[in-house]
Structure 1
Amino acid sequence: MEGGNGSQLFGKFQGFWCLGEYIPSIISFQTHFQALDEDIVIATMPKVGTTWLKALVFSIVNRHRYTLSDTPLNLSNPHDLVPYFELFLYANGQVPDLTSTIPSPRLFATHIPYPSLAESIKQSNTKIVYVTRNPLDAIVSFWYHVRAKPESSDWPLEECFEMFCGGEEWFGPFWNHVLGYWKQSLEKPNKVLFLRYEDLKKNPVSEIGKIADFTGFPFSDEEEGGGVVQGIADFCSFSNLKDLPINKTGILGWANTNTMPTNAFFRKGEVGDHLNHLSPSQIQRFTKILQDKLSESGLSLTN
């Protein structure tokens, strides 16, 4: 299938929707990736706070290695420091040597749904940190993100909205993606940590502490009293990350020859921005679809 989200072939693979160019990457990842118990994987749908979560996790696990003044985040976009399996490491079906190139704990990221993760991740003690967001905000954020590329600058918001309503967005349906990780977080709370973007915005210090405990890098009383947690929250805040020179003028390379300006990952970072873009009837329609899909899960994403 081809759509306004780009001219590339786009279709269903293993029950979820993705660009055709990513399929060899996903297959290579599934076939060759060997997880280690110390690995940490950040899993998300696109445009739900991935960049922010990468910066937070990197800062938490590396706080004894770098100070905030000399952290690599000052010179590199979070996506370069916490690489995607399918968009970078295994791009074009390549098989990278990860044993000698990435220090422990290895940090990775993925948009792949839980059922399609490499079996070595599921069978190991690898930790998965998952964040999700009100999908109505994700729709708007995704629309702006895709339109950052000149060839997609005229993509109508209505077409993006309909794509999400049909569950045909990248790595979607959104509800299936969320439910896969939500159920694992309930069944295996030591394996999957389920976070909400809105909670991170409302109480970042508390959520950062939760991430640190889950990943095995808890803050000491001295660190908490000395403002270390607040320092990470401030450094990784949307406004600070957006203002770093690397995130203003940098270019990020993806699979094949795709590139994206780093400033495309920093727009508003607000909760509720969908109210400025979607009509009341659109909001009502999508909320009803989502409620039906999540009805038996005990999970709500739009309040």
Structure 2
Amino acid sequence: MPDRYRRAAIVAATGVLPARARTGLRRRWLAHHYSELTKRADVVTAVHPKCGGTWLRAMIFRVYQQHYGLETRRVVKSDEFARLDSRLPRFVFSNGHYSYESAVAETLDTLAVSDQPRALMLMARHPGDIAVSWYHQFTRRITARKRELIAAEMAAPIDPRSITRAAFIANEEIGLPALIRYHNQWAARMREHPHGLIVRYEDLHTAPAETLARVMAHLGEHVDDTLIDEAVDFAGADNLRRLESERYFKNSGLRQKKSGDPDTVKVRRARVGSFRDDLEPAEADWVDDMIRARLDPVFGYDTSLDGS
């Protein structure tokens, strides 16, 4: 049974239960499922919502689709490609942080070196940019069941209907402070893993072909530059928006949630440093101060948005 069907079965089986029982069972059963996925994965990629995970997955999808001649329009998230061709790796793309997905990080921390996935990646992005986009995602796009599971583990759950952007970004459990902790924790895992790789969202902007080629080499695939360039074009923001509106992808998560509402699309502005356009100057300065004081300097975000 494909991994996505197992997740759907758990959600369906618990759907009729009262909220407390429903969230408890979903958290436990889905955590077990993600733990098992992690144990058998060849590649684990940690990607927080709004870090460019869709962009990276679309590029990887296109390279494998074209290189191996796969007849699929389902972007890889776990076993989709391995089920079509046994030569291809099993993936886990997960935030590894919220609710049941924390089982990914917890499982990695318990595995012996010999049992670790052969490759580990972290998709990083400037936390200020994530914070603004994550606010729109959490309050307007995320599914009710995911929001319910996240809220169930918060000491002080937030109301997505009324929370302001400023309050969301400052929130210790889900805003900028949490995003900084998230990056620091995964950076530490990258250092400890023999084949850990940090991929920055900003590098995909400034050098998309070179960055994708580095990712594919990390996955053990050395493909022609022409194929890399085609995958970059395919996964460009404008083309992804077009494909999203045309419902090209089989993944339900890659479809616009509400027609006519630009803040409910999966691919929003895809810009670097856009948080400064959204926030008041004092709020943006606070973001910069927090990053300089707390974020691991390995990311280069304490100096400039492009790492220069």
1:57 to 55, 60, 67: 60
Secondary structure of the 2:89 match is: coil
1:116 to 102, 106, 116: 106
Task: Determine if the alignment matches structure 1 residue 158 to structure 2 residue 166.
Answer: yes
Flag the 1:252–1:218 CA change in 2: closer, same or farther, 3 A.
closer
Q: How does 1:233-248 map to 2 (within 5 A)?
A: 233-245=232-244
Amino acid aligned to 1:185 = M
1:174 to 168, 172, 179: 179
Larger proportion of helix: 2
Check conservation: 1:42, 1:54, Cα contact below 8 A.
Answer: no
Check conservation: 1:40, 1:107, Cα contact below 8 A.
Answer: yes
Question: Which one is further off, 175-184 or 268-277?
Answer: 175-184
Aligned equivalents of 1:171, 1:60: Cα separation in 2: 33
Aligned equivalents of 2:249, 2:209: Cα separation in 1: 29
Check conservation: 1:252, 1:260, Cα contact below 8 A.
Answer: no
Task: Determine if the alignment matches structure 1 residue 82 to structure 2 residue 81.
Answer: no
Aligned equivalents of 2:26, 2:124: Cα separation in 1: 22
Residue 230 of structure 1: aligned partner: 229
Check conservation: 1:60, 1:217, Cα contact below 8 A.
Answer: no
Task: Determine if the alignment matches structure 1 residue 274 to structure 2 residue 270.
Answer: no
Check conservation: 2:209, 2:229, Cα contact below 8 A.
Answer: yes
Q: How does 1:1-303 map to 2 (within 5 A)?
A: 23-25=27-29, 27-29=31-33, 31-33=35-37, 35-36=39-40, 39-66=42-69, 72-73=72-73, 76=74, 78=75, 81-83=76-78, 103=86, 104-113=88-97, 115-118=105-108, 119-120=110-111, 123-149=115-141, 152=160, 155-163=163-171, 166=172, 168-169=173-174, 173-188=178-193, 190-219=194-223, 223-224=224-225, 227-245=226-244, 261=257, 264-294=265-295, 297-301=297-301, 303=304
Question: Which one is further off, 114-123 or 154-163?
Answer: 114-123
Aligned equivalents of 2:82, 2:64: Cα separation in 1: 19
Check conservation: 2:131, 2:176, Cα contact below 8 A.
Answer: no
Flag the 1:270–1:299 CA change in 2: closer, same or farther, 3 A.
closer
Secondary structure of the 2:229 match is: helix
Indicate the structure whose relative CO is greater, using CA pairs within 8 Å and at least 6 residues apart. Answer: 1
The structural deviation recorded for 1:253 is 5.7
- For structure 1, which runs of at least 5 residues remain unmatched after alignment? 1-8, 10-18, 90-97
TM-score between both structures, scaled by the size of structure 1: 0.69
TM-score between both structures, scaled by the size of structure 2: 0.68
Check conservation: 1:42, 1:130, Cα contact below 8 A.
Answer: yes
Q: Supply the RMSD in Å over aligned alpha carbons.
A: 3.8
Q: What is the percentage of aligned positions where both structures have the same residue?
A: 16
Aligned equivalents of 2:25, 2:53: Cα separation in 1: 21
Flag the 1:183–1:31 CA change in 2: closer, same or farther, 3 A.
closer
Amino acid aligned to 1:203 = A
How many residue pairs align between the two structures? 252
Larger proportion of strand: 1
Residue 6 of structure 1: aligned partner: none
Flag the 1:274–1:170 CA change in 2: closer, same or farther, 3 A.
closer
Aligned equivalents of 1:211, 1:250: Cα separation in 2: 22
Cα displacement string for residues 12-64 of structure 1 (whole angstroms, at most 9, x for unaligned residues): xxxxxxx9786325531365346347x22221111110111111222334432
Residue 95 of structure 1: aligned partner: none
Aligned equivalents of 1:63, 1:117: Cα separation in 2: 33
Aligned equivalents of 1:199, 1:137: Cα separation in 2: 14
